[in-house]
Amino acid sequence: MYDYIIIGAGAAGCVLANRLSDDPGVKVLLLEAGGRDTSPLIHMPAGFTKLVGEKHNWCFHTVPQKHVNQRRMYYPQGRTLGGSTSINAMIYIRGHREDYDHWRELGNDGWGYEDVLPYFKKMENNERFVDKYHSQGGPLNVTDQLITNPLTKAFVRSLQEQGIPYNPDVNGAEQDGVTFYQVTQRNARRESAATAYVKPIMKRANFKVITKAVASKVLIENGRAVAVEYIRNGNMKETARAGTEVIVSGGAVCSPKLLLLSGIGPADELKEHSIDVLHDLPGVGKNLQDHMDVYIAAECSQPVSYSGEDTGLRMIKNGVQYLLTKTGPVTACVAEAGCFIRSSDEVRSPDIQIHCLPAWIVDHGRMKIKGHGITINTCHLRPRSIGEVKLMSPNPLEPPAIDPNYLADPYDLKVVLEGVRWGRKILASPSFKPFIKSEYLPGSEKQSDEELTEYVREWSKTDYHPVGTCKMGNDAMAVVDTQLRVRGLDGLRVVDASIMPTLISGNTQAPSIMIGEKGAALIKSGGAA
């Protein structure tokens, strides 16, 4: 018997494990579907480009996307201790203050910007900033990058040439501008939610981690969550009981999947799969929101990119340099700089984010291109298109049906095309003239809106930021309340990115960790689920 069972050792789940187990009188179990984070590729910053395979990744695919040429798009999500924080590019972005104030305006009291800022500060050990917006002493190390590629410096200069100001802290007073990203690293190694929150507590007598444990069902008795069934090592079915709460932290894909498997969700969908309806909750799996990326890639006229640094003798040289000195290309997060800009004067805050990747990173890094190149990724920060996550099968080992419904709203395409135009302007600026040989994608022959639209439909991808499928609120489609308690049930919460009612304006790693911090505080303050 445990007091708390946490399902999912990702961004929020690791935080919950740490904060709830700091009371030695409380027994905590953390279940993770993936294995331990023992691979050196996880901990070497540049290693994430090699983590697109199955071992540490769910390797999901979407259903055919109606507005994106019917493509079944690759949809990677972390499957290891740390979840996606163990396989991502380590970019530290909080989002815009208006994102959280909007949550409050939707009826989510206690979730405005001034409400969540203390939790961002609580989690942070920022090596550079200590001010109104940042702090030191938290578990998560945030730092400047140890290496900056010449192409990245050209990117920052090029935005300034376009009239975009340099902003040293896009997580501070203002988000607008171009910046060198801060990253979640410590001593030239990745700082994941697992290394920050779980590794330091592994010897606590009241805390246990079980890996390779796929949760198959939350058991409900008399309207209360009392236990979790899980499948261990692919075939052994086991049950763990919770005396106080079950906390679902599987992320925006796996959390609704588990609720549905447990008989919690839209009754008609559950009946389709012959699952007993224990609690008709129509919002489970709905409200899926995600950032969609589009590439602008160019061939370089000189060997300045990171392309090829992971092959042959250069790989050996870089590996030795990293092992001996903790310097060199292996320390790179690859996505070294970015900017937040506005698609028009009519929007109140930045709605386009552009990443600079000084390497060929196309098709999630799976497409091999010879020579040196640079990739500019651009995404619409506040898409209006809404999708869903549903079951494809009642088998817990089968993937769910993921439908981001990209570009369903015509407004999204309008902003996406503006982002593509910005990417092209950046690469055509004077700062890039010494480095760029020719445009590779979309290709200089594609100039009209029609041609660029077709390119977007064929080459766009996820930016790995799904949220919203167990949204917080008080309307008919809300799944959790402002205490993150599943509405209509006792002893059950959801604490992860799935509770976001709307998508934040930036990368979702830091907000997900913040949700873990605030969720833990809500639980410990006595707000029983």
DSSP state of 198: I
- Residue 451: φ, ψ to 5°: -65, -40
For residue 158, the surrounding DSSP H or E stretch is helix 150-161
Q: Is 465 a catalytic residue?
A: yes
**How long a stretch of residues is the chain?**
529
Residue showing tokens 């290309």: 329
Contact predicate 251/77, CB 8 Å: yes
**One-letter identity of residue 87:** I
CA dihedral 237, 239, 240, 244 (to 10 degrees): 140
Q: Compute the distance between CA of residue 254 and CA of residue 137 in angstroms, rounded to an integer.
A: 32
Contact predicate 184/140, CB 8 Å: yes
Half-sphere exposure of 108 (CA within 13 A, CB side): 27
Cα Rg of the chain, angstroms? 22
**One-letter identity of residue 321:** Q
User: CB-based contacts of 341: which residues, under 8 Å, 6+ apart?
Assistant: 164, 176, 350, 352, 354, 422
The per-residue DSSP string of 30-50 comes to: EE-SSB-S--HHHHSGGGGGG
- State the distance between the two ends of the chain, measured CA to CA, in whole angstroms: 18
Of the residues 56, 102, 355, 465, only one is catalytic, namely 465
- Maximum alpha-carbon separation in the chain: 69
User: CB-based contacts of 318: which residues, under 8 Å, 6+ apart?
Assistant: 309, 310, 328, 329, 330
Instruction: Just list the catalytic residues.
Output: 465
